[in-house]
Structure 1
Amino acid sequence: MTGFQINITGERAEKEPMRYTNIHIEYIVHGKDIKPKAVEHAIQLSEEKYCSAIASLNATVSNTYRIFERDE
């Protein structure tokens, strides 16, 4: 792996307090011969164990993600 990038977009409720109702996370991994299972496992750990922000939002927000591999 030679690089890593995250793009995050979200949808918010129209009424106050305008909380997030959906969050979409794109994980972009740069490099050759990336092992998708290893990337998916790392993402799973970050979302379920290590990232308190995502863990806090998971109770109320629908999370989706996509993984991209870019050769460089």
Structure 2
Amino acid sequence: MKATVSWEPSEHDLGFVGKMDSGETLHLDGNGKDLSPMQAVLLSVGACSSVDVVEIMRKARQGLESCECELSAQRADEPPRVFTHIHAHYVVTGTNVNEKHLARAVALSTEKYCSVMLMLNQNVDIRTSYEIKP
């Protein structure tokens, strides 16, 4: 995997575009015009883990209809302002979704499969919770 991040000078002065070698792009900004790099990391935690949860629930033949990951994070007060705590709350809807299967899916993602969470877990207190809505 390869990528390039290029500065795009403008009135905001801290805009960057990231481009993967496969062509996908992501705009990031240090001044709030686009996502900040830290916002992108937080979203990546939720997206990476949600992929796992959905795949595991499908393999368990659960009637999953939707999956949202609500994220909250705290950052250190002083630079570098790293994440100190992240809470990921999964809200799933579906027909006859088994709580035991969902708990297992969240645990497997957090402890074994989500590469983004696993990269961060040495330095960040990551907690999870879940709920099933009919």
1:39 to 102, 113, 116: 102
Gaps of 5+ in 2: 1-63
State the one-letter code of the partner of 1:22. Answer: H
Shift of 1:64: 1.5
1:65 to 128, 131, 134: 128
Higher relative contact order (CA 8 A, sep 6+): 1
- Please say if residues 32 and 70 of structure 1, whose CA atoms lie closer than 8 Å, have aligned partners that are also in contact: no
Gaps of 5+ in 1: none
Over residues 18-50 of structure 1, what are the superposed CA-to-partner deviations in whole Å (9 max), with x where a residue is unaligned? Answer: 000000001001013211111111111111221
- In the alignment, the residues of structure 2 paired with residue 38 and residue 48 of structure 1 have an alpha-carbon distance, to the nearest angstrom, of 15
RMSD: 1.0
2:90 to 15, 22, 27: 27
- Please say if residues 7 and 27 of structure 1, whose CA atoms lie closer than 8 Å, have aligned partners that are also in contact: yes
Q: TM-score, normalised by structure 1?
A: 0.89
Larger radius of gyration between Structure 1 and Structure 2: 2
The equivalent of 2:111 in structure 1 is 48
Percent of aligned pairs sharing the same letter: 30
Whether 1:12 and 2:75 are equivalent positions in the alignment is yes
Runs of 4+ in 1 over 6 A off after TM superposition: none
